[in-house]
Amino acid sequence: MPIDLEDRGSALENEYFRRQEQELLAKMKAKMETEEAEVTSLKCPKCDGNLVEAVYENITIDACNKCQGVWLDAGELAQIIKKDEGGWFSNLFN
């Protein structure tokens, strides 16, 4: 069976491009997965807006960029009330 050099060359070329493509796809997939993870972890539970981290009195809170809702993690509300002692915010809970 004679070796067809031209065929062998294009086979190698195809293999090279196939690998390049696979690498590129793997990179794109990894990038999409991280982006997706970021978005899903910061989705507003009320609307389809995104929660953006904001800092209020050195406490990091999550505020929705669409409905302006504010989401507090456990303990954050207590921290805000404590910092705001005597203010309007803590009066809401008295």
Q: Which residues bind Zn ion (CB under 5 A)?
A: 44, 46-47, 49, 64, 66-67, 69
Q: Which is nearer to Zn ion, 66 or 82 (CB)?
A: 66
Q: How far is the CB of 63 from Zn ion (least distance, A)?
A: 9
Q: Which of 66, 63, 59, 34 is nearest to 51 (CA)?
A: 63
Q: How far is the CB of 53 from Zn ion (least distance, A)?
A: 14
- Tokens at 10, concatenated: 């294009």
Q: Which of 51/80 has CB closer to Zn ion?
A: 51
Residue 45 CB, shortest distance to Zn ion, in Å, is 8
Minimum CB distance to Zn ion, residue 76 (Å)? 17
Smaller CB distance to Zn ion: residue 7 or 48?
48
Instruction: Indicate the residue among 25 and 47 with the shorter CB distance to Zn ion.
Output: 47
Q: In what order do the strands lie in the sheet with 70-71?
A: 51-56, 59-64, 70-71
